[in-house]
Amino acid sequence: MWGKLPAATGAVPDSMRSAISDDSLISLHVSLLSGILNRVRLYPANIATSFRSLDGKGLGNMANSKPVGIGIIGAGVISEIYLKNATGSFDNIRAVGIADLIPERAQARADEFGIEALGIDALIAHPDIEIVVNLTIPAAHHDVATRVLKAGKSVYNEKPLSISRDDASDLVELAARNSVLVGGAPDTFLGGGLQTARKALDDGRIGEPVAVNAQFLGPGMEMWHPDPYFFFQPGAGPLFDIGPYYLTALASMLGPVRAVSGFARASFAERTVTAKGPRTGDTIPVNTPTHFASSLQFASGTIGSLQASFDVWETRERGTVLTIYGSEGTLHLPDPNTFGGPVVLVQEHSRETEELPLTHGHTENSRGIGVSDMARALRGDEVPPRASGEMAAHVVDIMVSMLEAAETGKTVELASTMQRPAALPSDR
């Protein structure tokens, strides 16, 4: 399949077995053996369920202004910032409990933030928990979210929403059927930097968007993450791990993507963990491409390119680039894996370069702002949640289509679509 890709044996190291459930293990084996490209049921545009259909109906409760209780499943690295923000930055949500396949991890986070450590089923059933924030590894996102939705609760997944189109569309459909919400990270597009860029775009500062350039070029996660196995398996790699920041930022500003094409490779058959910790020196088999050069065409007609890599050791230019070229100017966006600026506008006629003053807040690491926004929708806010399952599912479709395009050498037309989320009010 991929150049230098080792035979997918389905072998999962012992270090990983402890971190995933039997169900996840099975689905990981299936993914490794058959590849996610074999799971090609499309996500039809006519079931791209807009949250407009749910807006306020059976969900909203204007009379109830008490904070929405949240529970976290997955007590790994990223749970710390979610809990910090849920307990300190967003007053419309309240962290109630945390669960993990490894109970000691949940207990440690619970002690750190003064919340309950719970079993997974107990957390989902907890009467004070209305939204479950799913911070498990990508291969477990669908299974965990399905359990939550089937229990009649709303769920917010870390990115990617799932690792296949089928799973992504299933979550959107299941949530709609059960009159609950599904949402997905990243929520960096709600940060002060990208909302300022969105306003400049909507105000016509660069005219009509003509093209985009998105680039993330760097070495791999084995250099810093204490347990980096999952980054090199199907459902991760630079496209599924970092791509969602770039693709969500672009889709939230420019709307849905119509078609993609491109190439991909896995430059190294295995990676050695150099991050300090229990896995230092471990060897990780690479079972997914780690360098992508893809093209995309938006439904609006804007075209562009995305390069995403864990295989590049040095770049003369910035490794992180996100630029929108318009008919009357160019907008240089900040790193979409951050919440702040700078946002730089270069106008065609004057050739002047201007760093735009930020029009919105949430410029520090505000992970969880998407959960807070979802909580407003649960309480009857006027708009559907911005970090919607529909948009996250469309981003999964874009990424899976890029994989397919690289494998087949053909342009892939997307079957899914999405609504551009409303801009965030500047005073929020």
> CA-CA distances (angstroms) from residue 347 to 198, 211, 334?
16, 15, 18
> 115: which 2 tokens?
């919340």
d(CA 41, CA 32) in angstroms, rounded, equals 18
- Which residue number, 78 or 293, has a Cβ lying nearer to ligand NAD? 78
| 100 touching ligand NAD, by CB under 6 A | yes
For residue 122, what is the enclosing H or E element?
A: helix 120-125
Q: Which of 35, 67, 71, 76 binds ligand NAD (CB under 6 A)?
A: 76
| 238 touching ligand NAD, by CB under 6 A | no
C-alpha atoms less than 13 angstroms from C-alpha of 127 in its C-beta half-sphere: 0
| 215 touching ligand NAD, by CB under 6 A | no
Q: How far is the CB of 369 from ligand NAD (least distance, A)?
A: 13
Could you tell me if 149 and 174 are in contact, meaning their C-beta atoms sit under 8 angstroms apart? yes
| 227 touching ligand NAD, by CB under 6 A | yes
Q: How far is the CB of 267 from ligand NAD (least distance, A)?
A: 21
C-alpha atoms less than 13 angstroms from C-alpha of 134 in its C-beta half-sphere: 30
d(CA 380, CA 48) in angstroms, rounded, equals 22
| 137 touching ligand NAD, by CB under 6 A | yes
Q: Which stretch binds ligand NAD (CB under 6 A): 29-37, 67-75, 84-92, 297-305?
A: 67-75
Q: How far is the CB of 68 from ligand NAD (least distance, A)?
A: 21
| 158 touching ligand NAD, by CB under 6 A | yes
Per-position b or e across 327-358, b if 16+ CB within 10 A of its CB: eebbbbbbbbebbbbebbbbbeeeeeeeebeb
Q: Which of 59, 73, 110, 175 binds ligand NAD (CB under 6 A)?
A: 73
| 241 touching ligand NAD, by CB under 6 A | yes
Binding to ligand NAD in span 360-419, by CB under 6 A? none
Q: How far is the CB of 268 from ligand NAD (least distance, A)?
A: 21
d(CA 27, CA 12) in angstroms, rounded, equals 12
Q: Which of 54, 93, 110, 140 binds ligand NAD (CB under 6 A)?
A: 140
Q: Is the dihedral of CA 380, 381, 385, 390 positive or negative?
A: positive
| 78 touching ligand NAD, by CB under 6 A | yes
Counted residue by residue, the chain has a size of 428
- Which residue number, 99 or 324, has a Cβ lying nearer to ligand NAD? 99
Q: Which of 33, 77, 125, 422 binds ligand NAD (CB under 6 A)?
A: 77
Q: Which of 5, 10, 21, 419 binds ligand NAD (CB under 6 A)?
A: 21
C-alpha atoms less than 13 angstroms from C-alpha of 225 in its C-beta half-sphere: 17
Closest CA to 413 of 391, 392, 393, 398: 398
Q: Which stretch binds ligand NAD (CB under 6 A): 132-140, 164-172, 191-199, 257-265?
A: 132-140
Q: Which stretch binds ligand NAD (CB under 6 A): 138-146, 203-211, 344-352, 371-379?
A: 138-146
**Which residue shows structure tokens 């730089």?**
344
Rg of the chain taking only CA atoms, in angstroms: 21
Of all residues in this chain, which one has the CB nearest to ligand NAD in the complex? Answer: 76
Q: Which of 8, 54, 144, 356 binds ligand NAD (CB under 6 A)?
A: 144
Q: Which residues bind ligand NAD (CB under 6 A)?
A: 19-21, 24, 73-78, 100-102, 105, 120, 135-138, 140, 144, 158-159, 227, 241
